[in-house]
């Protein structure tokens, strides 16, 4: 049984990863599963890719294991790409997403649909024990809605409206979301990379 550590403590992310990267003889372990949740990782990169590599490399160097890490966030064009790489820390790490979501909605008050464009970006890095690292990126385009809608998903999902589905990503079923989401697309690309490596 091959174990891949995922450098996250977010159970929502772990669920998505397990659903998409299913493989014979592979188990995915979170930082919590490995008692590594207290390891300090300084995410001082300037891009999603750099931060994903920092997370994956830190845990791989520490454990000698293969490690996956993602860095993802919301880019709102009207806000010059904010919150971007600071999405998780936006308005403070302990601030609830309900507050973050409603803050973004308030910043876009009176802004018409065509100027509410936004995207979710996800970069995933895989760090190998031999020092190699590979990265992939997935993106989903959409708009910022006018209120929170939907109970599925997490984070900014309730305000991220996808015109082609006529709903937010929090209103999609997990199966629909995994096919079209930024993380779903990035994980599919990573799956292809791991196939080339003979891992899945």
Which residues are catalytically annotated? Answer: 71
- Among left, alpha and beta (phi > 0; psi -120 to 50; other), residue 25 is left
Note the helical H segments in the chain: 11-20, 48-63, 97-107, 174-180, 182-196
Residue of 79, 52, 75 whose CA lies nearest to 141: 75
The span from the CA of 78 to the CA of 87, in Å, is: 15
The span from the CA of 134 to the CA of 126, in Å, is: 5
The helix/strand/coil state of 84 is: helix
- What Å distances lie between residue 58 and 21, 102, 104, 152, 194, CA to CA? 22, 34, 32, 31, 20
Residue of 55, 102, 47 whose CA lies nearest to 75: 47
């Amino acid at each position: 049984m091959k174990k891949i550590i995922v450098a996250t403590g977010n159970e929502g992310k772990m669920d998505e990863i397990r659903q998409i990267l299913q493989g014979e003889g592979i188990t995915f372990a979170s930082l919590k599963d490995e008692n590594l949740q207290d390891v300090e990782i300084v995410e001082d990169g300037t891009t999603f890719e750099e931060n994903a590599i920092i997370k994956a490399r830190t845990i791989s160097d520490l454990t000698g294991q293969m490690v996956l890490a993602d860095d993802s966030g919301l880019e709102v064009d009207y806000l010059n790409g904010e919150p971007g790489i600071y999405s998780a820390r936006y308005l403070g790490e302990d601030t609830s997403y309900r507050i973050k979501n409603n803050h973004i909605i308030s910043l876009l008050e009176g802004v018409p649909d065509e100027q509410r464009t936004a995207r979710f970006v996800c970069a995933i890095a895989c760090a190998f024990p031999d020092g190699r690292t590979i990265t992939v990126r997935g993106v989903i385009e959409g708009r910022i809605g006018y209120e929170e809608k939907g109970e599925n998903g997490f984070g900014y999902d309730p305000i991220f409206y996808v015109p082609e589905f006529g709903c937010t990503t929090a209103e999609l079923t997990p199966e629909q979301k995994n096919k079209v989401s930024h993380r779903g697309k990035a994980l599919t690309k990573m799956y292809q990379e791991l196939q080339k490596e003979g891992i899945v």
